[in-house]
Amino acid sequence: MEVLIILVPLALSLGFVGLLGFLWSLKSGQYDDLDGAAWRAIADDEPASDHGRSK
Amino acid sequence: MQAEIDFSHYLKSAGSGLIHLDLAVEGINCAGCMAKIERNLSTIPDVTSARVNLTDSRLALEWKAGAVDPALFVNRLAELGYKAYPFERDDAETLEAQRAQGLLRRLGVAAFAAMNVMMLSIPVWSGNVSDMLPEQRDFFHWLSALIVLPAAAYSAQPFFSSALSALRARGVNMDVPISIGIVLALATSVIETVNHAEHAYFDAAIMLIAFLLAGRYLDQNMRRRTRAFAGNLAALKSETATKFISPTEIRTVPAAAIQPGDIVLLRPGERCAVDGNVIEGRSEVDQSLITGETLPATVTPGSAVFAGTLVRSGTLRVRASAASGGTLLDEISRLLDHALQARSRYLRLAERASRLYAPVVHATAFLTMLGWLACGASFHDSIVTAIAVLIITCPCALGLAIPAVQTVASGALFGSGVLLNAGDAIERTAEIDRVIFDKTGTLTLPELDVANLADIPGEVVGLAGRLALSSRHPVAAAVARKAGAASPLPNIQEEPGQGVYGLHEGSPIRLGRPSFCGADDLANEILCRDPEASVVAFRYGEFKYVFAVRQRLRADAADVVAELARMGIAVEIVSGDREPAVRVAAEQLGVHEWRAGVSPVDKIARIEELARQGCKVLMVGDGLNDAPALAAAHASMSPVTATHMSQAVADAVFLGERIAPVLAAVKVSRKALRLMRQNLWLAVVYNVLAVPIAIAGLVTPLIAAAAMSGSSIIVMLNALRARAREAV
């Protein structure tokens, strides 16, 4: 059962990292346009020659 | 024309030499539009970011300061086939967005805590029936406490603060039993953990918070979306005003940039965007949006004009005033305040449910404790059982029952062209048994229309329409619009106050007042038959025709009235317009109850009289004169063409030229209310099943968790049934 000493903090810190990730994504506005995001995921990539930046 | 708009009001600095502009774009409705716009605009040099928000139909642009003229974007979008207008987020929308985001953040914290606690709880549940050491169980309980206590302290704040403010006002709301449940569950769990007991309820408490926050977030997000759409609508109207920036110089600016005291120029055919007083000029104006009166009135220096007034003949200079000044506006504001106070006393379904619910639950828990004590159980065991009752009855499904249905139903309504302004609008609209329609602008279309098109040969209409393009008079504009004219005739001159004239293929051609075209007899004939119409005469060589121009009933008005009657809903017309006009409309629609020449005070009086008789009235109106009645009625709707004030107080706004959305709103709301009630009953059934288990002292944390998620999921699934759209 000594393995708990490693596993429990590990599990908790992974959970905490997940939470931080969620808070970051919320803050950076990734939930502002859920309809658009759903389509962006399956949209074709822009051809590289079209414009340098893909938005 | 767009290029004339002064964008400076809307440009914002985004730091490091970048400029930010928000545009509301009409017609973005698919991923294709999104990709097309973003790709096209990012090819403009110096544009650093172009991002479409598909949910809100908006476009955020950033570019290097000084490099690009903002009008270029609007023109480029117009080439792509989208109309775009600059807009500004108003305070109300920003506030709603912040609240929604705050709730989502708390929901995230609660959900993550719930997931991690489950990881600790499941070993305890399974360990209790196998071979877990008491020390290990205590360790897991302490870990759970470590996760849940801070998470609950943060994420349950909305419930605690709402419960506190309700208690301070000596009332009870839904949040009081919720808060008591959460606090007791956490306190018991800590005490039990200290005492090395088998059961702790940390997982149930945090799960409860997460489910309830999900309900709150759905509710808030619905409000945010409505606000955002209302903001777009305001921007799409693109109200501009022509402002004097010096005694001789004018500039077109957004209406939002006009300050009280500014002087504004109004030309024929323009709709006034501000309230104010005429200081120079004389004109016929169409005040139908304000008073419901379709006959034009004459304004002279000193007269008050209101936003929404259409100028018909002369040019006016208007000094913009703050909200006061016009006696009509003062009176309407006073009536409005009064009516809104009355409405705030409406008790929402959820509040009514919680008033019944809280005392019953608390009494049950208390009786459970007394019962166990009477049966000889120890004080500790009795308290723990009573708290288990509180936890299992905590209104998890109840908190989701109504917001989930509201969210789904508002989506269905959105598809039918109805936007909700108020969260409880669905409940109130569902309860109505009588509809009062305003006539002007509600049953009729706000735009003028040619009534006697069938009597005039097609080529004459076409020619008159092309001639009419040279005039700014709204009546002539209606002829041009109806004729679908696109190419104006060359060499046309205007005789102010009379009409337009010129030569076409060698023959004189003119359009204007009947006397200007020598067609008085024809015009009088039409006016005898239809005293409500405005006439415009057309003469080409020796041919003379007179167009009767009037507001036309919405195409589906009669069908909607008939369908409402079939549903057992009484229909009534209450209008500020004069009797003959209202009588004609009522006869055409088959409405037997109608009142004409009704003042704003009398409109409210009529609604209050009906309320005393026990009727629940849905008021549908658009004018400034309808605003108090909209606020006083049990529920209310406005067309999107309505005045600002009416739109702001109405429960819902409907889009388009048809009036069918009113019918759709009633049908969808009724269905939604049915589902809300069903959901509440489902929650009750769940309690009836779960409470005996709790009273018997058999509730383990495992049962609490399963019951809570099970009931929430059933309620959510039932809410989805509101999605089936009504065929209207």
Q: Mutating which of B20, B25, B36, B39 best tests the A interface, going by the most A Cβ atoms within 10 A?
A: B39
The mean pLDDT value of chain A amounts to 78
Q: What are the pLDDT digits (tens) for B486-514? A: 888 888 888 877 888 888 888 888 888 88
Which positions of chain B have pLDDT values less than 50?
1-3, 323-326, 726-728
Asked if the C-beta of B30 comes within 8 angstroms of chain A's C-beta atoms, the answer is: yes
CA B357 to chain centre: 31
CATH class name, domain B417-440+555-669: alpha beta
Task: Give the number of A-B residue pairs with CB atoms closer than 8 Å.
Answer: 65
- For CA atoms B460, B462, B463, B469, give the dihedral sign: positive
ipTM of the complex: 0.80
Chain B residues in contact with A8 (beta carbon < 8 A): 143
Annotated catalytic residue, options B438, B622, B626, B651: B438
Check CB contact of B49 with chain A, cutoff 8 Å: yes
**CB B233 within 8 Å of CB B26:** no
CATH for B2-88, options being 3.40.1640.10, 2.40.70.10, 3.30.70.100, 3.20.20.210: 3.30.70.100
pLDDT attached to residue B432: 92
| Nearest to B163, CA basis, from B145, B181, B148 | B181
* Contact yes or no for A51 and B143 at CB 8 A: no
Which residues, other chains included, contact A38 with Cβ-Cβ below 8 Å and sequence gap of 6+?
none
B116 vs A51: CB contact, 8 Å cut-off? no
Residue corresponding to tokens 């110096």? B46
- What is the distance between the alpha carbons of residues B307 and B297, in angstroms, rounded to a whole number? 15
User: Contacts of residue A1 in chain B, CB cutoff 8 Å?
Assistant: 136
CA distances from residue B427 to B269, B347, B560 in whole angstroms, order as listed: 41, 10, 21
Asked if A36 and B42 come within 8 Å (Cβ–Cβ), the reply is no
Residue of B nearest to A31 (CA): B101
* Cα(B665)–Cα(B418) distance, integer angstroms: 7
Question: Could you tell me which chain B residue has the CA closest to the CA of A12?
Answer: B116
What is the structure's pLDDT at A20?
93
- Taking CB atoms and an 8 Å limit, are A18 and B109 in contact across chains? no
How many angstroms from the chain centroid is the CA of residue B134?
57
Under 8 Å between Cβ of B316 and B299: yes
- B152 vs B102, B107, B144, CA distance in Å? 15, 10, 12
Strand B652-654, strand B635-639: pairing: parallel
* Tens digit of each residue's pLDDT (9 = 90 or more) over B109-163: 999 999 989 888 888 888 766 777 888 888 889 999 999 999 999 999 999 998 8
Query: Chain A interface, mutation test: which of B43, B58, B101, B112, most A Cβ atoms within 10 Å?
Result: B112
Give how far A35 is from chain B: nearest CA, Å: 5
3-state helix, strand, coil in chain A (%, to 5): 55, 0, 45
* CA–CA distance, B70 with B8 (Å, rounded to integer): 9
In this structure, are residues B106 and B214 in contact, taking their beta carbons and an 8 Å threshold? no
Range B240-325: architecture per CATH:
Distorted Sandwich (2.70)
What string of H, E and C letters represents the secondary structure of B16-45?
CCEEEEEEEEECCCCHHHHHHHHHHHHCCC
Comparing CA positions, the residue from B16, B18, B21, B17 lying closest to residue B6 is: B21
Test B53 with A18 for CB contact under 8 angstroms: no
Rounded Cα distance between B196 and B141, Å, is 9
SS (H, E, C) B237-287: CCCEEEEECCCCCEEEEEHHHCCCCCEEEECCCCECCCCEEEEECCEEEEC
Q: Which residues in A lie closer than 8 A to residue B30 (C-beta atoms)?
A: 39
Q: How far is B240 from chain A (nearest CA, A)?
A: 29
- Are the beta carbons of B147 and A19 separated by less than 8 Å? no
Chain B contacts of A17, Cβ < 8 Å? Answer: none
Give residue limits of the domains in chain B: 2-88, 240-325, 417-440+555-669, 446-553
Question: For residue B479, what are the contacts with CB-CB under 8 A and spacing of at least 6?
Answer: B450, B461, B464, B465, B468, B511, B536, B538, B547, B549
- Contact (Cβ atoms closer than 8 angstroms) between residue B99 and residue B145: no
In degrees rounded to 5, what are phi and psi of residue B132? -70, 140
CA distance linking residue B417 with residue B662, whole number of Å:
9
The 10 Å Cβ neighbour count of residue B221 is 22
Asked whether the beta carbons of residue B115 and residue A15 sit closer than 8 angstroms, the reply is: yes
Give the span between the Cα atoms of B180 and B308, in whole angstroms.
Answer: 52
Q: Nearest chain A residue to B36 by CA: give it.
A: A46
Q: State the helix-helix crossing angle for B379-393 and B349-374, rounded to 10 degrees.
A: 160
Task: Tell if the CB–CB gap between A55 and B42 is shorter than 8 Å.
Answer: yes
Tell me whether residue B521 is one of the annotated catalytic residues.
Answer: no
CB contact under 8 A, A22 and B31: no
Answer yes or no: do B49 and A55 touch at CB < 8 A. yes
As a three-state string, the secondary structure of B495-553 is ECCCEEEEEECCEEEEEECHHHHCCHHHHHHHHHHCCCCEEEEEEECCEEEEEEEEEEE
Neighboring chain B residues of A23 at a CB cutoff of 8 Å: 105, 108
Cβ–Cβ contact B35 with A under 8 A: yes
Look up the CATH architecture of domain B446-553.
3-Layer(aba) Sandwich (3.40)
Reading the block at residue B263, the tokens are 């002087």
Which uninterrupted H or E stretch holds B175?
helix B175-194
Report in angstroms the alpha-carbon separations of B42 from A33, B31, B56, B57.
19, 17, 20, 18
Cross-chain CB nearest to B55 (options A12, A18, A34): A34
Distance from CA of B727 to the nearest CA of A (A): 25
At B114 the pLDDT is 92
Q: Report CA B270 to chain centroid distance, whole Å.
A: 26
DSSP codes of every residue in B83-123: EEEE----HHHHHHHHHHHHHHHHHHHHHHHHHHHHHHHHH
**Nearest residue of A to residue B143 by CA position?**
A8
Residue of B nearest to A10 (CA): B116
